Amino acid sequence: MFKIISANSIRKGFSALVVVTLTTLLSFTAHAADPIKIGAVAPKTGPLAGGAAVTQWPNIELWVKEVNARGGLKLKDGQRMLELIEYDDKTNPGEHIKAVQRLATQDKVDFIVAPYGTGFNIAAAPIYAKYGYPQIAVSAISDKMDELTARYPSLFFTLGTTTAFVNGVKDILAGMRDSGKIGNKIAMVNVADAFGIELAEAARPIFKDAGFDIVYDKSYPLGTPDLSPVVKGAKAAAPDAFVAWSYPPDTFGLTEQAIIEDLQVGAYYTAVATCFPAFGQKFGSKIDGVFGAGGVNPDTEEMQAYFKRHKEMTGKDADYWASANTYVSLQILEQAIEGVGDVDREAVTQYIKDNSFDTIMGEIKFDNQISHKFWTVGQWQDGVFRGVASSNMDGVAEIKEKSGWN
């Protein structure tokens, strides 16, 4: 038997089909146009706000602007723009963890940029791992990397171990001593934070085994407003070299006091923020020959182009170390997301583990979630902070002898 269908029924059915089809297409188009949500939590206030304002926030801004200027990241369902959601952790680990919780559960972001600072990366690792966010730590060093990466499968390290950092300083000091430029007496101070404490603990036996005598060993709280007693104590010990495992506020404060007290040493080293352009602008030629954490090879085409873009798009100068590392971590995340073609965090994490990445610092690859390509020591030379010690980096500069505070 044949069933006769009226023209009216056909028209109704066709109309319904058109509505369903249009609804499906509109839904698909809306989904495809949804932005990829990027969360970022770092200090905007508190003792580490100054460092994050140089290293962390501008590079996040640069990356988001560059990606969106290209039309977004290329996924399987088309290009999708980035939407950035920021929170201030107030230099407080508890506030950082609460902000990550909010990003994950309320804002429902797809990815979160790793924290600023060693202590924050370690303290927040459990919450990043809980929600499966790949955490590419670019401002953290630790000798517990193997233990931490085994515990947290989405945690990656890029700056090297504490021991590698200390050995970089030790090797330079030993070379200067062996060539007769300095003696064997070291004054060592550290900020009482996970970063400074771990470095100081690693440095004591390493310096001792290298034949150095630590004649002054002092710790001070993060955010200490007056560091003159620390420098005066170091000067009274008559050292040949001064080493400070410091964070940005104290790097500036210690150096200012060293100049005021005329701390005369053949080798002067401060850690984080020694590489900041503001450090060079504040102290000028006085810091020629000063050593600090990290470094870059500023002469490569990639780095020169990066410095130019950074200035043009953020209005700020990139620093000569961790700025590039922060940007590199975002290049890695970008290439992993596009490599997967989706915002599946588990797949993106695995992609980071399995692949190498083309960055402004050259090819970066992780071995058991750890990169072995990084700078350890830099030095101010004629107004530029150059890398003078590294692990597997090209363009290491010869060290320059320091001649007082000019």
Q: 284 near 294, Cβ under 8 Å?
A: no
- CA–centroid distance for 114 within its chain: 8
Is residue 2 a part of any domain in this protein?
Answer: no
* Per-residue CA distances from 112 to 40, 71, 289 (Å): 6, 20, 38
Angle at 217 between CA 177 and CA 115, to 5 degrees: 100
Going by pLDDT thresholds of 50, 70 and 90, the confidence category of residue 49 is: very high
Q: Beta strand pairing status for 185-191 and 155-157?
A: unpaired
Domain, as residue range, for 384 = 162-296+376-391
Residue 8: its pLDDT value, please? Answer: 52
User: 163: closest CA among 185, 148, 144?
Assistant: 144
Amino acid residing at 285 = S
What letter does residue 137 receive in the DSSP assignment? E
The token duo for 205 is 């036996």
pLDDT tens, position by position, 116-146:
999 999 999 999 999 999 999 999 999 999 9
Torsion of CA 299, 302, 306, 307, to 10 degrees: 10
The pLDDT value recorded for residue 287 is: 97
Is the predicted pLDDT of residue 20 greater than 50, yes or no?
no
One-letter amino acid of 207: F
Task: Determine, yes or no, domain membership for 396.
Answer: no
Helix or strand or coil: residue 47? coil
Residue 117: inside a domain, yes or no? yes
The pLDDT-based confidence of 16 (bands split at 50, 70, 90) is very low
Q: Are residues 270 and 340 in the same domain?
A: no
One domain, residues 284 and 332? no
Same domain, 102 and 237: no
Give Rg (Cα) of the chain. 25
Q: Hey, what long-range contacts does 192-195 have (CB within 8 A, 24 or more apart)?
A: 192/219, 192/220, 192/221, 192/222, 193/117, 193/118, 193/119, 193/222, 193/247, 194/118, 194/119, 194/122, 194/142, 195/117, 195/118, 195/119, 195/141, 195/245, 195/247, 195/271, 195/272
Query: Residue 4 pLDDT > 60, yes or no?
Result: no
Q: Tell me, yes or no, whether 87 lies in a domain.
A: yes
Question: What is the pLDDT at residue 406?
Answer: 74
User: What is the Cα–Cα distance from 119 to 139, expressed in whole angstroms?
Assistant: 10
The total number of structural domains in the chain stands at 2
239 and 380 inside one domain = yes
CATH of the domain at 214: 3.40.50.2300
65, 97, 191, 226, 276 from 223: Cα distances, Å: 33, 21, 9, 9, 18
| Residue 172 and residue 136 share a domain | no
Same-domain pairing of 131 and 212: no
Helices (H), 179-299: 194-209, 228-236, 248-260, 277-283
Residues 127 and 201 in one domain: no
Looking at the fold, whether 111 and 240 belong to one and the same domain comes out as no
Asked if the structure places residue 93 within a domain, the reply is yes
Angle between helical axes of 194-209 and 118-130 (0-180°, round to 10): 120
- Within a domain: 15: no
Query: Both tokens of residue 13?
Result: 């059915």
Torsion of CA 156, 396, 196, 226, to 10 degrees: -130
pLDDT attached to residue 152:
98
Name residue, tokens 């706000």: 49
Q: What is the pTM of this model?
A: 0.87
Helix and strand numbers, DSSP H then E, in the chain = 14, 17
Quick one: 200 and 292 in the same domain?
yes
Tens of pLDDT, residue by residue over 291-305, are: 999 999 999 999 999
Q: Do 272 and 306 share a domain, yes or no?
A: no
Query: Of all residues in the chain, what percent carry a pLDDT higher than 70?
Result: 92
Q: Are strands 362-367 and 356-359 parallel, antiparallel or unpaired?
A: antiparallel
Q: Looking at the domain assignment, is residue 20 inside a domain?
A: no
Domain identity same for 133 and 246: no
How far is Cα 108 from Cα 376, in angstroms, rounded to an integer?
37
Inside any domain, residue 405:
no
Considering the domain architecture, whether residues 345 and 258 belong to the same structural domain is answered as: no
Contacts of 292 (CB under 8 A, 6+ apart): 251, 269, 270, 271, 273, 274, 275, 279, 377, 378, 379, 380, 385
CA distance 41 to 56: 10
Residue 279 has pLDDT above 80, yes or no: yes
Query: pLDDT by residue (tens digit) across 53-74?
Result: 999 999 999 999 999 999 999 9
Q: How far is CA 363 from the centre of its chain?
A: 17
Query: Is the CB of residue 267 less than 8 Å from the CB of residue 241?
Result: yes
The mean per-residue pLDDT over the stretch 286-293 comes to 97
